[in-house]
Amino acid sequence: MKYLIVGLGNIGAEYQGTRHNIGFTILDALAQASNIVFHTERYGDVATMRLKNCQLVLLKPSTYMNLSGEAVRYWMARENIDISRLLVVVDDLALPFGTIRLKGRGSDGGHNGLANITQLIASADFARLRFGIGNDFPRGMQVDYVLSPPTPEQLEVLPARVTVAVDAIKAFCLSGLTFAMNNFNNK
């Protein structure tokens, strides 16, 4: 079985380590734990790995967050991956920092990256792993908040929460969405 695991973020040094790039951070941790490296390909940085009987194609789109659908559509077609084996890892303002929620489908929740993917693959029926980044910002400061690094307190818990997210991705591929949801939502 082949899976496409997409971590959303923005390219460029100015975005590295920001809350909005948590998808990149989680995919980097998965790749590092598996001793694989990303290579620049069309529409993003890509790495492939084996996980028991599964092949995972890891994608960090280079299209910037709001145009992530271009990369997802291209790599789904190139690798002949069915929508049921697509998992998008994304930041979520509505969840407390470090909270993980897996869902099999749903709205974009105001997230432009998810909205663009939904539009370009013509379906919202794909799995997503939402990683909470919290919403502790003054009114009108959302953009500054998501494009800034986590607080020192958040950075302290970040490695452990990223490890949980990596384990959730592995569970999704090896045991399916329902198992992963039951074992990692609320963990």
| Phi (first) and psi of residue 41, to 5 degrees | -130, -170
Set 20, 60, 128, 161: catalytic member = 20
| Phi (first) and psi of residue 151, to 5 degrees | -70, 165
Active site annotation includes 20: yes
- Find the largest Cα–Cα distance for the chain: 47
> What strands lie across the sheet with 2-7, from one edge to the other?
39-41, 44-51, 54-61, 2-7, 86-92, 127-132, 100-103
Q: How far apart are CA 105 and CA 128, in angstroms?
A: 7
What lies within 8 Å, CB to CB, of 15 at 6+ separation is 9, 21, 147
Q: Which helix (H) or strand (E) holds 127?
A: strand 127-132
Which residues are known to be catalytic? 20
